[in-house]
Amino acid sequence: MPNEKIKDYIKKYIPLANFIADILGPTSEVVLNDVTDLDHAVVYIKNPTITNRKIGDPASNFVLKIMKDGIDDKTNYIANYSGKSKLHPHIRASTFFIRKQKKVVGMLCININQEPLEKLNEQIDTFRKMFEVNTTPIGDYESKTDVEPASQQKTISENFNNSVTSLAKNAVKKKEQELNITANYFQQEQKIELINELYEEGYFLLKDSIRVIAEYLDSSVPTIYRYLNKVKNSH
C-alpha cells in the first residue's frame, strides 16, 4: 500500500487520539506514528509539551526496537512502561498497535508526565511527617493499687464505643470467639470470667451497665450483681 494511503489510514485515528488526550488532560501526550516511514513517523500529536516533538519527526527508539524485533500477532498493546524526554525524566508510556491486513502500520502512543503526581506525593509525605505521631498500644499498664510484676501486667489497647450497649456487645462477642460458643451456652464460670474482664476494664462504672450485660448473657440483674460482688471480693 502506498505510503500516503497508510498515512491517511492512520489519520482516521485522530479523533480517538483527541478523545484520549481530552480525557487524560494536558499532562498527557497522544501521538500517532506511521511505522512505514520511520524517518517521519509522527503523523499527529496532541499536547506535544511532554516530549516536545512535532509532526514529521522520526520514530522513538522504542518504536524502532519494536519494528526491528517484531511484535507478536496476539499482542495488541504494551501498557505502562517507563520513558523520558529532555523536559520530563519520569514518563509513563503506553502503545497501541494499529494494524492493516494483520500488519502493524502505525502506533497510537500515550505519554503521561508523572512529575505532578510524584511532587504531590512528596508534598503529602512531607505534610504527613509534620503532624504524624507514632502510636503504640498502651502497654505495661499498672493501676495505682496494683503492684503486679511486669510479666503479669496486661497490655491494653483503646477501643472506641459510642454506648454502654456497644461495649457489652463487643465484650460478649470477643468471649464468644475465644470460647467458640454463643453466649447462651456460657456456663456460670464463663459468665463470671466475662464479668471479671469487664470489671477490670471499668465497664461497671457506666450507668445501666449491669442491666445491659444481663440482657446479653440472658441472666437476671440480681444474678449479675451476685457475680460482680464475687469478682470484687476476689480482688
Phi/psi region, residue 180 (left: phi>0; alpha: psi -120 to 50; beta: rest), is: left
Render pLDDT for 35-80 as a digit per residue (tens, 0 to 9). Answer: 998 988 999 999 998 888 899 998 888 888 888 888 899 999 999 9
The pLDDT of residue 144 is 45
The pLDDT of residue 177 is 92
Render pLDDT for 150-197 as a digit per residue (tens, 0 to 9). Answer: 444 444 455 555 578 888 888 899 999 999 999 989 999 999 999 999
Average pLDDT in the 82-86 region? 80
The three three-digit cell numbers of residue 181, written as one number: 460458643
Helix (H, G, I), strand (E, B) or coil at 221: helix
Running DSSP on this structure, what letter comes out for residue 183? G
Q: Which domains does the chain have, with CATH numbers?
A: 3-117 (3.30.450.40), 161-234 (no CATH)
Please state, rounded to an integer, the average pLDDT across all residues of the chain. Answer: 84
pLDDT class of 222 with cuts at 50, 70, 90? very high
Q: Is the pLDDT of residue 90 over 50?
A: yes
Q: Give me the torsion for CA of 19, 20, 23, 26, rounded to 10°.
A: -110
The 77-83 sheet, strands edge to edge:
42-46, 28-34, 103-113, 91-100, 77-83
By C-alpha distance, which of 229, 226, 225, 231 is closest to 200?
231
Rounded to a whole number, what is the distance in angstroms from the first to the last CA of the chain?
A: 95
- Work out the number of other CB atoms within 10 angstroms of the CB of residue 108: 21
> DSSP secondary structure string, 12-80?
TTHHHHHHHHHHH-TTEEEEEEETTSGGG-EEEEESTTTT---TTPPPPHHHHHHHHH---TT--EEEE
Tell me the whole-structure pTM to 2 decimals. 0.53
Burial class (CB in 10 A: 0-12, 13-18, 19+), 42: buried
pLDDT class of 143 with cuts at 50, 70, 90? very low
The pLDDT of residue 231 is 93
Helix (H, G, I), strand (E, B) or coil at 110: strand
By C-alpha distance, which of 23, 3, 5 is closest to 15?
23
By C-alpha distance, which of 88, 109, 126 is closest to 45?
109
The three three-digit cell numbers of residue 67, written as one number: 519494528
Maximum separation of any 2 CA atoms in the chain, in Å: 100
